[in-house]
Structure 1
Amino acid sequence: MSCSVVKGEGPFDPFTVTHERILETALGLFSTKGYLGATTREIARQAGIAEVTLFRHFPSKEKLLEEAITRYSILPSLRAFVPRALAMPYEDALAAMANILLDTLIQLKDWLRIMHAEVQRSPEKLLGVYHTFLDELFEVIASYFRELQQRGSIGSFDPELGARVFHAMFYCFFNIEEVLLRKQYRPTDREKAVREFVRMFVHGTGGIGRTDYARAS
């Protein structure tokens, strides 16, 4: 798996260039060999640096994984999209969020497949990193729901649980289509699936006057 970093036209910064190259190389190796199988020595060698240089940038392999997840995951693009989403119709915004999520999941498919297997094998090494990322992801989506609730635009429900439901719908779709390869058995129209999933979600969360979460809890 290859990842590209878009570099700006600012002054050349050797430290930043090396930092980015380490991240790209690490994610590529994590995607093919897994977190446990990719050593810092091999990451450094493929990045064209000494291992001691790698540790000047990242004090541990875990810290390297944390930054790689943050940098190449959905978080940057989703955070940037939320202000735009707040100005869009609810269904349109959710459909756009779903497509951002699906595009990112497909791009990182190889890495995710290996990561899930390794979380089961070595939970003590990876659970914290993986679920810290999920907490951040759920909070970004929940912040969108929270703001719309404060505006009175959508009904009352637990924003974090709503975020988890929204993520689960599209993660499940990705997993079945891309990982379990249902698309090769019986293809599903992605645009239609996104539209229908969003419509069902909106009918469950968009109506004002349904059970008030704050009172029910």
Structure 2
Amino acid sequence: MANAKMDRTVGSCSVTRERILDTAIGLFSTKGYAGATTREIARQAGVAEVTLFRHFASKEKLFEAVISHYSALPGLKSLLPKALELPYEEALNRMADLLLDTLIQLKDWIRIMHAEVLHSPDKLMGIFHSFLDEIFDFFASYFRELQKRGELRDFDPEMAARVFHSMFYCFFNMEELLGRKHHRATDRNKAVKEFVTLFIHGILARPWSFADGNV
């Protein structure tokens, strides 16, 4: 009986902590670290401010918890084995879609990083670049494996990963963070297919090499 009561208490604490984190990320995203108060976070989370401080010793600790909590990329990592079994173009389309879904899911977190990284470079730069490195490593691992199989030519897989990521990060930034979709909407499926095609085939009408001397 005592164990069941303890389990319920632990579960309730976990739910409360998640509710505080979910509320905090929204307020930090819209109001910034300085503008979001623990009183307002607690009120919107439906808890007393003293309860918030039981879970997080200070506003700074809450902010650090938000940054750490929402930086994981499990969905992206789990796609790699499946992607390696798909035709190349289809795999890139699937990975691009999942990357965009992931970025949209983390939109508030990314907005916070954009806004706050210059104010706390020592604290946030490492976290943000670790997040980017995980994405780069995912795509680089995919390109590297296809190179081992002889399906792709020799190139720097990490540079290719950064190029591929940059196309879709820019699209996400324009559409979601800067709100372009509300003024001049772009069909996402069409954009993904077009970007992938450009990545694979480039824009020249025929293959070109440096030996040609000119285009």
Q: Is this contact kept in 1: 2:26–2:108, CA < 8 A? A: no
Does residue 197 of structure 1 match 2:186?
A: no
What is the aligned partner in structure 2 of residue 102 from structure 1? 100
Distance 1:36 1:127 in 2: 18
Does residue 170 of structure 1 match 2:188?
A: no
Distance 2:145 2:182 in 1: 40
**Which amino acid counterpart does residue 48 of structure 1 have in structure 2?**
V
What is the aligned partner in structure 2 of residue 4 from structure 1? none
Q: Is this contact kept in 2: 1:34–1:114, CA < 8 A? A: yes
**Which amino acid counterpart does residue 167 of structure 1 have in structure 2?**
H
Query: What is the RMSD of the two structures over their aligned residues, measured on CA atoms?
Result: 3.1
TM-score (norm 2): 0.72
Q: Is this contact kept in 1: 2:70–2:109, CA < 8 A? A: no
SS at match of 2:24: helix
**Candidates 145, 148, 169, aligned match of 1:147:** 145
TM-score (norm 1): 0.72
Q: Which runs of 5+ in 2 are unaligned?
A: 1-6, 203-208, 211-215
**Candidates 98, 105, 115, aligned match of 1:117:** 115
Q: Is this contact kept in 1: 2:89–2:196, CA < 8 A? A: yes
Alignment of 1:5-154 (within 5 A): 13-14=10-11, 16-38=14-36, 43=41, 46=45, 48=47, 50-55=51-56, 60-61=61-62, 63-71=64-72, 75-154=73-152
Q: Deviations over 1:76-105 (max 9, x none)?
A: 110111111111111111111111122233
Q: C-alpha displacement at 1:110, in angstroms?
A: 4.3
Distance 2:27 2:184 in 1: 32
Q: Deviations over 1:103-128 (max 9, x none)?
A: 23334434433431222343233212
Q: Deviations over 1:149-194 (max 9, x none)?
A: 2222222222222111111001111222333333344332221211
Q: Is this contact kept in 1: 2:20–2:52, CA < 8 A? A: no
Q: Which runs of 5+ in 1 are unaligned?
A: 1-10, 205-209, 212-217
Q: C-alpha displacement at 1:203, in angstroms?
A: 2.7
Kindly name which structure, 1 or 2, has the bigger radius of gyration based on alpha carbons.
2
SS at match of 2:100: helix
Number of residue pairs matched by the alignment: 192
Distance 2:200 2:183 in 1: 30
Distance 1:31 1:122 in 2: 15
Q: Identify if the C-alpha distance between structure 1 residues 185 and 66 changes in structure 2 by more than 3 Å, giving closer, same or farther.
A: closer
Q: C-alpha displacement at 1:36, in angstroms?
A: 4.5
Distance 2:183 2:193 in 1: 22
Distance 1:178 1:41 in 2: 29
Q: Deviations over 1:36-74 (max 9, x none)?
A: 544566555636362443148xx9345413432224xxx
Q: C-alpha displacement at 1:18, in angstroms?
A: 4.2
